Amino acid sequence: MDRVAKGLTLVVGLGVSGRAICRHLSRLNVPYMVADTRAEPPGLDDFRAAHPAIDVHCGSLAALDLTGVAEVVVSPGLDPRMPGLKELADQLNPHTGEPMVVGEIALFVRSAKAPVAAITGSNAKSTVTTLLGDMATAAGVDAAVGGNLGTPALDLLASHPDAQLYILELSSFQLETTPRLGARCAAFLNLSEDHLDRHGDMHSYRAAKQRIFIGAESAVVNADEPPTWPTYPVDQVAYFSQRAPEANEWGLAFHHDKLTLMQGSSPWLAIDELKIAGQHNYLNALAALAMGQTLGFAAAPMCNALREFKGLEHRSEVIAQINGVTWVNDTKGTNVGATLAAINGIGATLEGRLILLAGGIGKGADFTPLAAPLSKCARHVLLFGLDAPRLADALIEHVSIQQVEDLTQAMQTAFELAQPGDCVLLSPACSSLDQFANYPARGEAFRRWVLDKASTKAGEAL
């Protein structure tokens, strides 16, 4: 058994986050070595070339003697209680008082010199994080945006050392290895089944998300979803809701005959001023406004940023209209909650019906919540990928379905079935890794096919 030299920090995982951890430790001159459970992790040769003095262990962690290790920093994609780490995960570090096994955000908290605004949730994290970043810029705040979205948090410390604020999207994987975040403002947007293959059950998944509130000064949560409400002490809590707001809460109500983003009885923006659509996006806007106000951003620049915000790629993104049919890319809908949000948000606005394209790897999720809303608004559901049969079992008694081989066949069939006023929605409720490298690759395949079809139809019309 190989022994890790006494006093070394062990970095586990050589993915994007693992490499950011290594760069951070190198900047701090902290001695470390790297372990990856894969025999040949991608990019290993490049890493060794960039860090020739760093020892790298590939293979089972059980082959390492960690008796003298100073600390283990594990990448978020890896279970901190995996074989080889479980015993250490139950121990406290005598020097920091934190667990011996931590993640990248624990290192970030130790080094960050500016306050943190943090966003988590099963869905919409990226949208709210990006929108809050736009609001900060408009308000004249030098904010660095990243985390689970875009630039790793530890790299932000190097690229934006003078930032006035760090705005971080944080996953449950990142939060479960963060002993204390201490955010200036922490938001928990929503909770639905996801990552049960990692967390085991909804109780554990929720508990990981709730860690965002440890040490937080203020919170923004979903009034319609009590599981998002803080279970840790927080002095100031702001609520947003799809209902008309009560007291000083944020919500949706009619003002001068227009549906409007409201705080209590005060109107902020009518939704017809927004470039984003769907009730789920209106909730995202409310959450960002609540966070911005808590952080001290001025109202006018926040509203200006919101007016200009077009949403994110791969999240309820309108690609084209063909023959009166709207084609929407929501490939980032990788769990049931995200797909429910897209169905409810878009379905209610249609003159026609919805054709849903769904399927992939379901991660153990229960698909039955999709049945009722689809029964009300869907013309047809096209299912592909590994868990298409499980989706079919959940939906077959409620909506017209068809199982196909892959996304391409699903799109062609949808094109043949769709009628003017309909929407073809790619929102798979599953991860993409059975048939694609990642969810953006799935979305790009959808985009290319739709734009090619749109170009062909335009050419035929000439």
Same domain, 377 and 267: no
Contact 403, 391 (CB under 8 A): no
* Residue stretches of the chain with pLDDT short of 70: 1, 195-196, 461-462
Same domain, 183 and 212: yes
pLDDT of residue 313: 83
Last residue of a domain, one of 75, 102, 129: 102
Which of helix, strand or coil describes residue 416?
helix
- Mapping DSSP onto H, E and C, the string for 51-71 reads CCCCCEEECCHHHEECCCCCE
Of 24, 123, 148, 160, the active-site residue reads 148
Tokens for 203? 């109780």
Same domain, 276 and 375: no
Last residue of a domain, one of 102, 135, 155: 102
CATH number, domain with residue 18? 3.40.50.720
pLDDT of residue 196: 66
CATH number, domain with residue 249? 3.40.1190.10
51 annotated active-site: no
Q: How far is CA 55 from the centre of its chain?
A: 33
Cα–Cα nearest to 34, from 53, 60, 13, 51: 13
93 annotated active-site: no
Half-sphere exposure in the Cβ direction for 2 (13 Å, CA) = 15
Residue with tokens 């200036």: 184
Q: What secondary structure letter does DSSP report for 353?
A: -
Same domain, 88 and 113: no
Q: What is the total count of domains within the chain?
A: 3
Percent of the chain with pLDDT over 70: 98
Distance set, CA 122 to CA 171, 195, 338 (Å): 8, 9, 8
Sign of the Cα torsion 395, 399, 405, 408 reads: negative
Cα–Cα nearest to 85, from 106, 99, 104, 97: 99
Contact 314, 331 (CB under 8 A): yes
Same domain, 283 and 389: no
pLDDT in tens, 391-406: 999 999 999 999 999 9
Domain containing residue 197:
107-308
Percent of the chain with pLDDT over 90: 77
* DSSP per-residue string spanning 82-100: STTTHHHHTSB-TTTSSBS
Same domain, 268 and 330: no
Helix (H) or strand (E) holding 8: none
Same domain, 141 and 191: yes
Instruction: Read off the amino acid at residue 7.
Output: G
Contacts of 118 (CB under 8 A, 6+ apart): 147, 167, 168, 169, 170, 181, 183, 185, 186, 187, 212, 216
Same domain, 55 and 141: no
Same domain, 145 and 290: yes
Of 24, 123, 160, 195, the active-site residue reads 195
Same domain, 284 and 403: no
Provide Rg for the chain, Cα atoms.
23
148 annotated active-site: yes
pLDDT of residue 303: 98
Last residue of a domain, one of 284, 308, 332: 308
Half-sphere exposure in the Cβ direction for 430 (13 Å, CA) = 27
CA distance 433 to 149: 19
Q: What secondary structure letter does DSSP report for 361?
A: B
Contacts of 9 (CB under 8 A, 6+ apart): 25, 30, 31, 32, 33, 69, 70, 71, 72, 73
CA distance 82 to 93: 18
pTM of the model: 0.82
Same domain, 87 and 130: no
* Distant-in-sequence contacts of 55-62, Cβ < 8 A, 24+ apart: 56/14, 57/2, 57/33, 60/84, 61/12, 61/35, 61/37, 61/85
Which of helix, strand or coil describes residue 113?
coil
Same domain, 372 and 453: yes
Sign of the Cα torsion 272, 278, 283, 289 reads: negative
- Strands 401-403 and 378-383, sheet pairing: parallel
CATH number, domain with residue 324? 3.90.190.20
Contact 328, 399 (CB under 8 A): no
